Amino acid sequence: MTAVPSISYSITVRLEVPAGGASVSQLTTAVEQAGGAVTALDVTASGPERLRIDVTCAARDTEHAELLVEAMRGVPGVAVGKVSDRTFLMHLGGKIAMNSKHPIRNRDDLSMIYTPGVARVCLAIAKNPEDARRLTIKRNSIAVVTDGSAVLGLGNLGAAAALPVMEGKAALFKRFGDIDAWPLCLDTQDVDEIIKVVHAIAPGFAGINLEDISAPRCFEVERRLREQLDIPVFHDDQHGTAIVVLAALYNALRVVDKQIADVRIVMSGAGAAGTAVIKLLLAAGARNVIVADIAGVVHRGRTDLTGELEWLAQNTNQLDFTGSLKEAVVGADVFIGLSAPGVLAMSDVAAMADRSIVFALANPEPEVDPAEATRYAAVVATGRSDFPNQINNVLAFPGVFRGLLDAHSVEITSTMLLAAARALAGVVHNDELNAAYIVPSVFHAEVHHAVAAAVRRAAGGPAELPSDTEVAV
């Protein structure tokens, strides 16, 4: 699959060029001929003989960005100045900050916000611990917790390298759910230590969002924390992915006029995300599901099954199919990939059932070329932003937590996950639904409100929020 210029590899190059000549058009041509895309061109200073121009362009990757700079340097009369990577600029100093809700203007403000007035609030909470949710940030705060062992698709980068992702997650929580999220990157990958730390900090939060913790220990961390804590624990790599995949599948099945109970689904990937997707599909009524991992199709006769793999063997592949992934997709209605690039060829997609559905979600390189897959599949989705139907967890987690916090929920259940998926699918109305639009944009005005309301109701919260707890979503 040919890479295309991406805004995530966007650079701004400060140049000096001769005034009154053809240098500007030559710069644009040079960038385009080198495979880049000019997205902005600003004159920042002008004189009788020279212009200072900031050229912003998108590249395919870091090496390609350097080639674009060299292409601009090769234009006659052009002098290259500072080159800025726009993504790194956005991360300078971090992406989030804490702000006070009340100004501290004088001694009266100080005495109420801090001592001596704050002591009265402390004593009230000591007398009635439930008041912590009403009188502190707890009511609207979650911890975004990682051990850095599975950062994006990059692997085990450690706690410090995971921080930019956790900051970004916190920013998304605020933007789309009006939730105060705090990134906590733990310098340990020991299960017992992770659980001990999260248990210790839990009193200050109304929910825990586990993030980028590798399988299989992520399963144990989540399970034990759910047993120990009186606040919901949500592993977004599992449950957020499962919600959005199910919502997209609901709508894809509407496009091809099939029912979830009738279709044959083949999954590539039995890690944290794949296992969670399978469990939610089964809860939604799927009956014919086969999953494959790196060792092949999961079936009861395999001798290497432990933990979640053993559960998958007992609850999927009811006909005990023992062939390969490629053999399994022959005649399948749905393929869902949460695994690795290039595991399927075009011939495999062509061998699927009529009006098939392909979700190739490995990122950045999917299991099969999505552009080619559309030749044979009726509906194609990916995890990428440069193709239609992006399966993106940000469609789910802000609304899910908004609903949990508003309901004062102490847990998260499959019923809530199913409600979130149905609500997300329902945002795409009948007159909007088509093969290239099965999930809404994350910026769609209804998305997070609809998901939050559905989760709040499923959690037993109020149908409508009282005025003193209204939040924008």
Which pLDDT belongs to residue 472? 34
CA proximity to 263, closest of 380, 358, 345: 358
Which pLDDT belongs to residue 24? 83
Which pLDDT belongs to residue 470? 43
Q: What is the mean pLDDT of residues 108-136?
A: 93
> In the chain, how many domains are there?
3
156: containing domain: 107-231
* Domain's final residue, options 29, 61, 91: 91
Q: What confidence category does residue 357 fall into, taking pLDDT thresholds of 50, 70 and 90? A: very high
Q: Say what the pTM is.
A: 0.88
* Domain's final residue, options 231, 248, 271: 231
Q: Is residue 100 part of a domain?
A: no
CATH number of domain containing 44: 3.30.70.260
The half-sphere exposure of 333 on its side-chain side, counting CA atoms within 13 A, is 18
d(CA 372, CA 404): 40
* Domain's final residue, options 202, 231, 260: 231
d(CA 473, CA 469): 12
Q: Is residue 1 part of a domain?
A: no
Q: What confidence category does residue 19 fall into, taking pLDDT thresholds of 50, 70 and 90? A: confident
Same domain, 439 and 385: yes
For residue 5, say if its preceding peptide bond is cis, omega within 30 degrees of 0.
no
Same domain, 189 and 227: yes
Same domain, 189 and 207: yes
Query: What residues act catalytically?
Result: 114, 169
Same domain, 62 and 117: no
pLDDT tens track for 130-163: 999 999 999 999 999 999 999 987 889 999 999 9
Q: Is residue 345 part of a domain?
A: yes
DSSP 3-state assignment of 290?
Answer: strand
Residue 469 has pLDDT above 50, yes or no: no
Q: Is residue 68 part of a domain?
A: yes
Q: Is residue 97 part of a domain?
A: no
Whole-number percent of the chain with pLDDT over 70: 97
